[in-house]
Amino acid sequence: MILKPFKFNKEKWCSKIGMKKFIRGLIFKKYDEFASEMGFRDWKAAYDNTFFIFHIPEDAQWNATELPNKSWAVWNDEGQQPYSFKVFTTWEEAISFLRDLFEQAKYEEHYWEPEGYEPGENAFLKPPDKNKKDE
């Protein structure tokens, strides 16, 4: 039996697998797992219900996600996915927990920028508005 050397054909491979699907699979698989743990079908559904709350220097952040059962999960993107998260029954509990973390860490005030609000609007009075998300 004569073995032929393997020759990788990038164009053929890319068209068969679909580069877009392949790259998404590599990047988003863990995000989809994370979303599933929170009760969503995929990362896009979770992302659509997630609001940025504050920066963690240098390049991380805390977020709040409204879950399908209307409770709230808070989480940060430090470390590897799937991230750990803490669930709160109400928005008031979630945002208060996040503000306490923020104050305990003594972050500069300009890092606190809850998404889903008009400038100057109080994040403690009502949940964020999806129509006011930064896109």
pLDDT digit string, tens, across residues 14-71 = 555 566 666 656 667 888 999 999 999 999 999 999 999 999 988 899 999 999 999 9
pTM exceeding 0.85:
no
Give the span between the Cα atoms of 17 and 12, in whole angstroms.
9
- Domain annotation covers residue 87: yes
pLDDT of residue 59: 84
In a domain, 11, yes or no: no
Contact 64, 54 (CB under 8 A): no
End-to-end CA distance of the chain: 59
Instruction: Measure the CA–CA gap between 73 and 42, rounded to whole angstroms.
Output: 16
Expressed as residue numbers, the domain containing 82 is 40-127
Q: Does 58 fall in a domain? A: yes
- Asked if 54 contacts 103 with a C-beta cutoff of 8 angstroms, the reply is no
Residue 35 resides in a domain:
no
* Other C-beta atoms lying within 10 Å of the C-beta of residue 68: 12
